[in-house]
Amino acid sequence: MNLQKLKEAETSFLTFYPKGFEDEALLPIIKRHNTAKIGESVREMFSPDRFSRTEEIGENFAKIISKSSLISLFEKPKVRDMVKAMSMEQQDMFAIGLYELLHGKKEKGFDILIDVLSTYKLAKWSIMTVIPYYYARDKAFFIKPTTTKDIIKFFDIEGLTYKPRPTYEFYERYTKILEEMKSHVSPLIGEDNAGFTGFLMMAMK
């Protein structure tokens, strides 16, 4: 990782926005994405006790996808159609996968979700990572393909190759790298993980 580029980006960002993501100039962007409010809904909808009703898990998943500004308009109806089309067995597996990813064995959950989503050609980074991000905005990262590829290239991150099909190995390693990068910048930048990757995206422009 190129620490010099990261520190230069931090200096530039805080020059324009001295209060970081609390700066008034950034409030329109914050309001547009509304991550805090959606995060509250996600923590309620996908708390451990809610997973006994597996049918609701898929329905709530589609609701959050429809509200999220992080997901493209092209993907939203596909997710809605997937949830409507899932068999009872698929609903159960989907719920098990999401439960494990959020509350249990993350790798197991990740792989189960990939299997279910692959059936509907929806095993994509954005779909896979949006709920974990909203559930724990200071711990999990939303992975957007183009931004991810650019971050790896711009900040000279070695030994990590982006591929379109999500894998837990990449997810885990990339998360650790982003956490390390966060540790080198002001908390004003790194409190919300989507905000932090947004900061990195701004640094590359």
DSSP result, 110-122? HHHHHHHHHHTT-
Does pLDDT of 30 surpass 90? no
- 21/153 Cα distance (integer angstroms): 25
Take residue 87 and report the two structure tokens written for it: 């068999």
Does pLDDT of 79 surpass 90? yes
| 140, HSE (Cβ side, Cα atoms, 13 Å) | 19
Q: Report CA torsion sign: 77, 80, 82, 85.
A: negative
pTM here is: 0.90
pLDDT digits (tens, 9 = 90+) for 116-156: 999 999 999 999 999 999 999 999 999 999 999 999 999 99
Give strand ranges (E) for 18-91. Answer: none
Give the residue from 120, 188, 112, 142 showing the smallest Cα distance to 38: 142
Take residue 83 and report the two structure tokens written for it: 């949830």
H helix or E strand, kind and range, residue 188: helix 187-190
> What is the rounded average pLDDT of the residues 1-21?
87
C-alpha 121, offset from chain centre: 19
Residue 202, pLDDT score = 84
